[in-house]
Structure 1
């Protein structure tokens, strides 16, 4: 598979901070964990910065699903529930892939991938579409394989893998679809990579914070609180990572997510990183200011109820 060439100058320009409103789509395995729900809400509560154009349901397979297709279907229904609670049924939701990529050059057909191609082809390098992915990267990789020209018109922001200094990168989003991850890392698409362990793992919160700052924020606040409360039987001295809001935080306020430009890493079949400095550049988030991120999220939930 040959991908369009983007010059280093063009890629660096695309990976710079942008002023004004950002057009984005969110690709999410919403039923897999409790953090996806927070990311969906955070994005919708940030209209000063984000114009959410569509949601895509991503596949996942773990104890909460019988397979990737079932995981995607459950994520689709969870997205429908969240937008209904927030009275935001104006934003379309598309079903994604029912399987992971079967090979390095074989896309998986889905409504989500086709819609992404359509939206990306209608975008421009000057006004790119931000593709925020917080699950297995199958839908996004499939769209790139279906129409490689879209890499000129998009920026991918992906929560995937662990930090480059971690002993391995056997992280759920990445390991589910190694072929898809390699498409994203090798195609040259402008990419912001946010690792899980070592970076997004800073985003821990507690039931006490949920009670004080989330529970009373309307129907959606009550839903998020109950989701958090039910996820663990004993909340004494217990905190939980809300990984996925890292991607929204990057777009809303890059000061909360410091990053650097470095060569796109290589992922092995055993899910380990290696690095070749001659490869194209990506933006790599290496730290997250936990307090800034949660302060912004909690404020937006509160302000929505007070009318501020």
Structure 2
């Protein structure tokens, strides 16, 4: 919005300030509907993201879906990974005093067997119902792990593709946009949780995608010294800091030194949805490029597809905004 256009709003703003009824009406700040989908029983960065999202008044979280981890995950011994994940989300909500405020559902307990066989659950039914709802608020699907439940919902009801935007933390680096992880696997973790699901979303669906690939989410580093500050503040932040300390201690027990910084890689889900600009709403402080959606191969790598629909691939995320907002919201 140009400056002169904004100045044209001033009489209305002043009038609202003088009229208590209008001020109360303006208190509803909701801009978007959101479904949060993450492996909350794995890396605690998903719990940090969920807590920050739950404290964000500009979004209306309609459902929280606990998703599964890798089938061969060392710590994922349970046959009920998605159920465990949903229970961890409920535990966090209890800490925050938000029990029963938002439906929490367990997704599929394992990856899709193929690109044609969906895993129907209460979570997929909830996704379809929300996407097909007659609602003026746009819908974001915020996923910080695999894409099993969204892909299954898309196979069951393909019409949802035009009715939501996927914001996904996942996928390896794009050539020319990011350097591969030194010594890392070409297949990225979240992609390989369920490659068939990613193939459904990228190769076959018409869902709009905002992707945060590995080279971008690995930059979401929060120092251990900052984590100690967050813990000292008490409240939800202290509980979350304790979860990260637990993972760090477990890693140390296996001989791994985690260093002085921890990647809160799922936090861009908040930045790109709740922390958009006031006018011409968009995640304006983070940078992206538009690329044709690649075809996902069986090993989780990309094959260029010049005819693919345009998707956003984020190359930077505003860490100052993200973490400053997080610390302010998680004090209580």
Q: Which runs of 5+ in 2 are unaligned?
A: 1-28, 277-282
Q: SS of 1:199's equivalent?
A: helix
2:123 counterpart SS class: helix
Deviation by residue 1:202-233 (Cα, 9 ceiling, x = unmatched): 11112210121344241x22211111222224
Q: How big is the shift at 1:194?
A: 0.9
What residue is the counterpart of 2:220 in the other structure?
203
Residues 223-271 of structure 1, C-alpha deviation per residue, up to 9 Å, x if partnerless? 1111122222468952110111111111123134211222101222222
Rounded Cα–Cα distance in structure 1 between residues aligned with 2:142 and 2:154: 14
- Residues 121-140 of structure 1 aligned to structure 2 (within 5 Å): 121-123=132-134, 127-140=137-150
How far does the alpha carbon of each residue in 1:44-103 deviate from its partner, in whole angstroms, 9 at most, with x for none? 1111x2111110111113122125x42212101101101111111211101110221111
Provide TM-score, normalisation by structure 2. 0.79
Q: In structure 2, what is the Cα distance between the partners aligned to 1:91 and 1:33?
A: 22
Q: Judging changes above 3 Å, is the alpha-carbon distance between structure 1 residues 215 and 91 closer, same or farther for their aligned structure 2 residues?
A: farther
**SS of residue matched to 2:77:** coil
- Larger CA Rg, structure 1 vs 2: 2
Q: Which residue does the alignment assign to 1:9?
A: none
Cα RMSD (Å) of the superposition?
A: 2.0
Residues 59, 236 of structure 1: CA spacing in aligned structure 2 closer, same or farther, 3 A cutoff? closer
Runs of 5+ unmatched residues, structure 1 = 1-18
Q: Which runs of 4+ in 1 moved over 6 A?
A: none
Counterpart of 1:221 in structure 2 is 237
Within-5 A mapping of 1:49-60:
49-60=58-69
Q: Provide the residue aligned with 2:113 in structure 1.
A: 102
| SS of residue paired to 2:210 | strand
Return the alpha-carbon distance in structure 2 between the equivalents of residues 292 and 76 of structure 1: 28
Choose the corresponding residue for 2:156, options 131, 146, 150.
146
**Corresponding residue for residue 313 of structure 2:** 284
Measured at CA, do residues 107 and 278 of structure 1 come closer, stay the same or move farther in structure 2, by a change above 3 Å? same
Secondary structure of the residue aligned to 2:142 is strand
**Matches of 1:213 and 1:221, distance apart in 2:** 6
- Aligned with 2:227: secondary structure? helix
Q: Structure 1 length normalisation: TM-score?
A: 0.85
Tell me which residue corresponds to 1:266.
295
Deviation at 1:279, TM superposition (A): 1.3
Matches of 1:59 and 1:44 in 2, distance apart? 21
Aligned to 1:175: 192
Partner-residue secondary structure (3-state), 2:272: helix
Question: Residue in 2 aligned with 1:161?
Answer: 171
State the number of aligned residues: 280
The separation in 2 between residues aligned to 1:74 and 1:256, in whole angstroms, is 35
Equivalent residue for 1:91, pick from 102, 105, 117:
102
Q: Are 2:66 and 2:83, in contact at CA under 8 Å, matched by a contact in 1? A: yes
Deviation of the 1:34 alpha carbon:
1.2
Q: Does 1:238 align with 2:260?
A: yes
